[in-house]
Amino acid sequence: MSGYTVSEIHDIVEHQRKYFRSGETLSIDFRIRQLKKLKKMIVQNEAEMIKALNVDLGRHETESYICDVGSIILEINEILHGLKKWAKPETHFSGLACFPSLFTKVYKMPYGVSLIISPFNFPFLLSLGVLAASIAGGNTSIIKASSKSVACTELLEKMVSQTFPEKYVKVIGGGHDVADICLDERVDKIFYTGSTKVGVHVLNKASKNLTPVALELGGENGNWCIIRKDADLKDAARKIAFFKMLNSGQVCININQVAVEEEAADKFVSELKKAFISQIGDAISNDEYPKLINRNAYEKCALEVDEYRDRVVFGGNGDPETNKYAPTIIYPVNIDDDIIKHELFNPILPILKFNNVENLLETISEREHGLALYVFTKNIRWAKKVMSTQQFGGGCINEVCLHLMTKGVPFNGTGHSGMGAYHGEWGFREFTHPTTVLIGSNKFNMPLREHPYSNNIKMRLLKFFEK
């Protein structure tokens, strides 16, 4: 069902709010049981999920398992392993300034009704993976799934409705109009994944109710990859080729543009061509190569390639019947060309040369923050310095994308690439509010804070306690 009315969505929100206020979702044992049900749902529906991903995105079953199915299971396993520890209230010594209070508690409280708005590119991972964090936090959840990944959204609605009651977890289909109806409701937490432009819209909607928001955005200027002349160019090309073909470039942390030191640029481009050919051959006719989500995405990609047709050195062709567009290298581009000033979200890969890496880094830092940054070099000390001084979501040195798979670390962007963080304990934190509660005493109370203030002993004691 996708044609939801304002009153229908309002009723869903209110039913979930009523259920949340019943207190049933607060129990850690309850949350663990729901996470296990979620995991069982995914395992039992693995074949259907893989089939739906192939219908919507043309994905091979291996890629679908790595990116969506298996990744969700890993996320749930990590949460199950750590949830009791993460959710345990913290006990802190109140300090002399709070005497006679000795102890202060910090409770990890759920927000209430969470709204998860998920995209088409990883329709299961970025809905059910976020749902796992919401469940861990003790919330109820409404998932607004993408209207573009039709088969996956239909399966999501079916799976979730068979596993959880609507008052606890509900999947809603439909387009932007339905998303806006959801955003107009007074929910307690919003988690949105998608474009920066829509992220601004979500934040504006949320501001009307002062609803806390987490945004996972692609970044307005895309994600940079910097390759120094001392890098292992063959290794870099192999990894970048794999990554650019993944989901046909429809990955928020994918490499948007590559900057290669001038002395190594031609050789790197040559190695990259070899890597594409070695891994995929004729991409358009290869069943393992995914497609773009729809005709509009295909035409947008083709149009951008045509604008730079004179600099296409590999690929540059597609099939509008299947919406497949070949991995395409555009070389060389200039740092001020339009093609590297926005997120591409397709298999186009612009490559530019640089002479002065400090000037390059300065330009990158002046633009909007990316969701990811990748550096290839043998100079690890320099690479670490870059990673610790630039502003971006996360990244890798001499590797691609695997920071997303690492246990126990946060994932998200900053500024135009997002806000907040999740995965594992960080997801639990994102969907809970730390509530501080001081435990007072009615004995040995010292009247230092009370009038009259004319007693000099009070000031001396206050300064002593607050050193």
**pLDDT tens readout for residues 113-145:** 999 999 999 999 999 999 999 999 999 999 999
Q: Determine how many CB atoms are found less than 10 A away from the CB of residue 331.
A: 21
Which has the closest alpha carbon to 128: 90, 156, 164? Answer: 156
Using CA atoms, how far apart are residues 351 and 244, in angstroms rounded to an integer?
Answer: 13
Q: What is the band of 463 on the pLDDT scale with cuts at 50, 70, 90? A: confident
7, with CB counted inside 10 A (0-12, 13-18, 19+), is: exposed
pLDDT tens string 80-103: 999 999 999 999 999 887 888 999
pLDDT for 219 equals 87
Q: For this structure, is 301 an active site residue? A: no
Q: Is the CB of residue 185 less than 8 Å from the CB of residue 13?
A: yes
Backbone phi, psi, residue 91, to 5°? -115, 125
> Tokens 């309850």 label which residue?
30
pLDDT in tens, 406-438: 999 999 999 999 999 999 999 999 999 999 999
Share of the chain above pLDDT 70, in %: 99
Strand order in the sheet with 169-172: 169-172, 140-144, 113-117, 189-194, 213-217, 418-419
Please give the Cα distance from 139 to 156 (Å, whole number).
19
Rounded alpha-carbon distances, angstroms, from residue 128 to 20, 35, 123, 371? 19, 10, 8, 21
Task: List the catalytic residue out of 63, 157, 216, 220.
Answer: 216
Tell me what the mean pLDDT of segment 8-20 comes to.
98
* Nearest alpha carbon to residue 116 among 220, 251, 213: 213
Q: What is the pLDDT of residues 237-290, one digit of tens each?
A: 999 999 999 999 999 999 999 999 999 999 999 999 999 999 999 999 999 999
Q: pLDDT, tens digit, for every residue of 211-233?
A: 999 999 988 899 999 999 999 99
Q: Residue 435: exposed, middle, or buried by beta-carbon count in 10 A (0-12, 13-18, 19+)?
A: exposed
- The single residue of 152, 252, 301, 396 carrying the catalytic annotation is 252
Domain limits of the chain? 6-217, 224-405
Concatenated DSSP letters of 73-109: HHHHHHHHHHHHHHHSPEEEE--GGGTT--EEEEEEE
CB 303 within 8 A of CB 326: no
Q: What pTM, to 2 d.p., does this model score?
A: 0.95
Per-residue pLDDT band at 2 (split at 50, 70, 90): low
Cα-based distances in Å from 311 to 169, 269, 344 = 49, 12, 17
3-class DSSP assignment, residue 436: strand
For residue 186, pLDDT over 80 is answered with: yes
The pLDDT of residue 1: 44
Told to judge if 252 belongs to the known catalytic residues of this protein, a careful annotator would answer: yes
Write the CATH number of the domain with boundaries 6-217.
3.40.605.10
* Region at 281 (left for phi over 0; alpha for psi -120 to 50; beta for the rest): left
- Decide: helix, strand or coil at residue 222: coil
Whether the predicted pLDDT of 68 surpasses 60? yes
- The SS3 call for residue 41 is helix
Superfamily of structural domain 224-405? Aldehyde Dehydrogenase; Chain A, domain 2 (3.40.309.10)
User: How distant is the alpha carbon of residue 300 from its chain centre?
Assistant: 24
**Mean pLDDT in residue range 354-371:** 97
- Which three-class secondary structure state does DSSP give residue 392? strand
